[in-house]
A = this chain, B = another copy of it.
């Protein structure tokens, strides 16, 4: 954490200085008449987006929610490694780590060979592959995650808080006005939900609207889209319970395939609570689950049969539900359909775009990444850093991720709902227990959220120089590794410098003999970035802003920290900032050898030549370039950024793989 740059301030450093008009505390209590971005829905998707936007004092964000207050009891609970990395960028990962259950081990259970009415453990595996992320896979009540987002928003410069008890009546886009970048072409009519007294409606005009309003999204309906897909006609029950059992893996994530059906058991935070997903049988063609009239006792009964020979004595049920499995996807995530032209003004994200079964723990995670992808793009356009064509890339990039999600989930849900083949009858119907295990282990990267790779576009480079850093796959998220900060010799994770602040990062990995001395490749790059008229920093940094406010440059050297002097570094790596021109000492790092392997080895960085890694504001690797590829670096940023005189990037470059 860095603070006190513009003078000492007593108190909580996470309570940021307020934006103009927010000195008195929270944001406006009444709905505004207009907003730059109107977010509909306070689930994890809406809150992730609102949290991202709340950090920009120059953006007016408004978030509305139909319910009367924050969620108290959440449905989602699985938090993938990749989401933890994002939480860290938002500044609250340590709170989640403290409260959550950590998923370390996964066990598989199958029917006993000699008594198929009883289950036996078939195998135990590590849940998350070693080194996949610096964060574990954890489980925590969604309501707590909401609270952390809300808390971060409350402490942001805009002191953003949601407007509760408002639902969407209509969303209208003035197509003529939409052509004017500065206009507020979307008119959203809001009304009080039933049971809130006299009818009351309000209108908010917005430059952009984002529907994070769930599977039954009203925003999606208003822009004429719907979810397409099917159901596999399988009913499941789910319950959060406090229970007494002699099942030995009660505190490990367990997948149980018995002759009586399947269970996915997920231990919860606090040491006692567990979530149990229970297969409740096949539905007939066109049968709705509601017709089954399944009650809690049915779920408990089914769970007890599946657990046999182990007892399950349920003492308290904190929450339960039933659902049928289906995979549905919306063909577009914004209001611009195939073959249509124009710039998107209304977006949907999260469950409004894709719904699927909950058992692989993907729902909340993929949805928050939708928001993380969209948030910085909206901010960059609204702040005049990028042309609005950038916004097309949201639907393009996240559509392909949603497709992968749907196909992963269809296979996983089908496997879990199939009978397990008896070992005595290898030709019989069903799936082999080992096949389920294999599928899960093979998809470990996928369920951890680290397998997402965006395709080449104006904001994601071609893999021409990928061999310079094989472990930083272009399009994938930047995989952090330990380094030592030069100025104070502190061991840190390099990836943790990428905060959710809308900035781009250049990590300059120095070649073997480069110590940043005058004339070295790193120094030459810094000189170029500092003073060339074609430098993206010179071109795209506003006149009175700190030098790192748009593109944040940091360097890593292959030296021991006692061998380098911070004062010998190029000025760009020891920049003077803020009202006093104080030096920022946190831009330079050296390799950390303490784990045996340093970042060059862990991430396959070319020791001889080094490289430059360009990192997007959502932590994805945008490009890998040689340290001396100054022109290519400029050309990359020129492809989507707008220079200070307001000149747009060329339309060609902005086509963004649409």
Contact with B along A550-588 (1 / 0, CB 8 A): 000000000001100111000000001000111111100
A319 contact set on B, CB distance < 8 A: 8
Q: B4, B72, B244, B268: which contacts A11 (Cβ < 8 A)?
A: B72
Asked if A242 and B582 sit within 8 Å, CB to CB, the answer is: yes
Interface residues of A in 242-264 (CB under 8 A from B): 242-244, 246, 248, 250-252
Asked if B104 and A584 sit within 8 Å, CB to CB, the answer is: no
**Does A291 lie at the interface of the complex (its beta carbon under 8 Å from any beta carbon of B)?**
no
**Does A10 lie at the interface of the complex (its beta carbon under 8 Å from any beta carbon of B)?**
yes
Asked if B73 and A252 sit within 8 Å, CB to CB, the answer is: no
Q: B98, B250, B489, B567: which contacts A94 (Cβ < 8 A)?
A: B98
Asked if B580 and A271 sit within 8 Å, CB to CB, the answer is: no
**Does A195 lie at the interface of the complex (its beta carbon under 8 Å from any beta carbon of B)?**
no
A488 contact set on B, CB distance < 8 A: 101-102, 104-105, 251-252, 267
CB distance from A510 to the nearest CB of B (A): 19
What is the bound-complex CA distance between A251 and B11, given in angstroms? 22
Asked if A271 and B3 sit within 8 Å, CB to CB, the answer is: yes
Contact with B along A580-618 (1 / 0, CB 8 A): 111111100000000000000000000000000000000
* 28 A-B pairs (CB sep. < 8 Å): A1-B269, A1-B270, A2-B270, A2-B272, A4-B270, A4-B318, A5-B272, A7-B242, A7-B316, A8-B240, A8-B319, A13-B270, A94-B94, A101-B488, A104-B490, A105-B489, A246-B567, A248-B566, A250-B487, A251-B487, A251-B566, A252-B488, A252-B489, A271-B585, A271-B586, A315-B580, A315-B582, A316-B580
The list of the 5 closest CB pairs from A to B, nearest first, reads A8-B318, A315-B580, A105-B489, A251-B487, A3-B270
Interface residues of A in 108-144 (CB under 8 A from B): 124, 141, 143-144
Asked if A2 and B271 sit within 8 Å, CB to CB, the answer is: yes
A315 contact set on B, CB distance < 8 A: 580-582
- In the complex with contacts A72-B10, A316-B7, A488-B101, A581-B242 CB distance below 8 A: no
What is the bound-complex CA distance between A585 and B246, given in angstroms? 12
What is the bound-complex CA distance between A584 and B270, given in angstroms? 10
**Does A544 lie at the interface of the complex (its beta carbon under 8 Å from any beta carbon of B)?**
no
CB distance from A145 to the nearest CB of B (A): 13
Residues of A within 8 A of B (CB): 1-5, 7-8, 10-13, 72-73, 94-95, 97-99, 101-102, 104-105, 124, 141, 143-144, 147, 240, 242-244, 246, 248, 250-252, 267-273, 315-316, 318-319, 487-491, 561-562, 565-567, 576, 580-586
CB distance from A550 to the nearest CB of B (A): 20
Taking the full assembly, how many copies of this chain does it contain?
A: 2
What is the bound-complex CA distance between A491 and B104, given in angstroms? 9
What is the bound-complex CA distance between A95 and B97, given in angstroms? 12
- In the complex with contacts A10-B73, A567-B248, A4-B585 CB distance below 8 A: no
CB distance from A351 to the nearest CB of B (A): 22
A100 nearest in chain B by CB position:
B1
A581 contact set on B, CB distance < 8 A: 244, 315
Q: B99, B565, B584: which contacts A248 (Cβ < 8 A)?
A: B565
A253 nearest in chain B by CB position:
B488
What is the bound-complex CA distance between A3 and B240, given in angstroms? 14
Asked if A585 and B250 sit within 8 Å, CB to CB, the answer is: yes
